[in-house]
Amino acid sequence: MSKKYDYLIVGAGLYGSVFAHEATKKGKRCFVIDKRSHIGGNIYTENIEGINVHKYGAHIFHTNNKEIWDYVNSFVEFNHFRNSPLAYYKGKLYNLPFNMNTFYQLWGVKTPIEAKAKIEEQRAMFKHIKFPKNLEEQALVLGGKDIYKKLIKGYTEKQWGRSAKNIPAFIIRRLPFRFTFDNNYFNDIYQGIPKGGYTILIKKLLEGIDVKTNLNFFDERNNLEKLADKIVFTGKIDEFFDYRFGKLEYRSLHFESELLDIDNYQGNAVVNYTDKRVPYTRIIEHKHFEFGTQDKTYITKEYPHEFSKDDEPYYPVNDEKNQHILKKYNELAKQYNNVHFGGRLAEYKYYDMHNVIENALKTVKYF
Ligand code: UDP
- pLDDT tens for each residue of the chain, 367 residues long: 568 999 999 999 999 999 999 999 999 999 999 999 999 999 999 999 999 999 999 999 999 999 999 999 999 999 999 999 999 999 999 999 999 999 999 999 999 999 999 999 999 999 899 999 999 999 999 999 999 999 999 999 999 999 999 998 988 887 788 999 999 999 999 999 999 999 999 999 999 999 999 999 999 999 999 999 999 999 999 999 999 999 999 999 999 999 999 999 999 999 999 999 999 999 999 999 999 999 999 999 999 999 998 899 999 998 889 999 999 999 999 999 999 999 999 999 999 999 999 999 999 998 8
Cα angle 166, 254, 352; round to 5: 65
Global pTM reads: 0.95
Q: Looking at residue 175, what is its pLDDT? A: 79
Task: Check residue 1 and give its pLDDT.
Answer: 54
CA of 156 to the centre of ligand 1 (A): 7
Q: Evaluate whether 175 touches 97 at the Cβ level (below 8 Å).
A: yes
Q: Is 83 in the pocket of ligand 1 (CB under 6 A)?
A: no
- State whether the beta carbon of 102 lies less than 6 angstroms from ligand 1: no
Report the distance separating Cα 198 and Cα 357, nearest Å.
Answer: 14
Ligand 1 atom nearest the C-alpha of 60 is 23
Q: Is 178 a catalytic residue?
A: yes
Ligand 1 touching residue 172 (CB < 6 A) = yes
Catalytic residue among 5, 6, 155, 282: 282
Work out whether strand 228-233 and strand 210-212 pair parallel, antiparallel, or are unpaired. Answer: unpaired
pLDDT at res. 318: 81
Q: What is the pLDDT of residue 247?
A: 96
Of 175, 183, 253, the one to substitute when testing ligand 1's pocket (max ligand atoms within 8 A of C-beta) is 175
Ligand 1 atom closest to 152 (CA) = 7
For the question of residue 302 being annotated catalytic, the response is: yes
Would you state the pLDDT for residue 366?
Answer: 87
172 C-alpha vs ligand 1 centroid, how far in Å? 7
274 touches ligand 1 (CB under 6 Å): yes
Q: From ligand 1's centre to the CA of 264, what distance in Å?
A: 24
Q: Is residue 168 within 8 Å of residue 37, measured between CB atoms?
A: no
Among the listed residues 238, 302, 347, 358, the single catalytic one is 302
Q: Is the CB of 96 under 6 A from ligand 1?
A: yes
350 counts as catalytic: yes
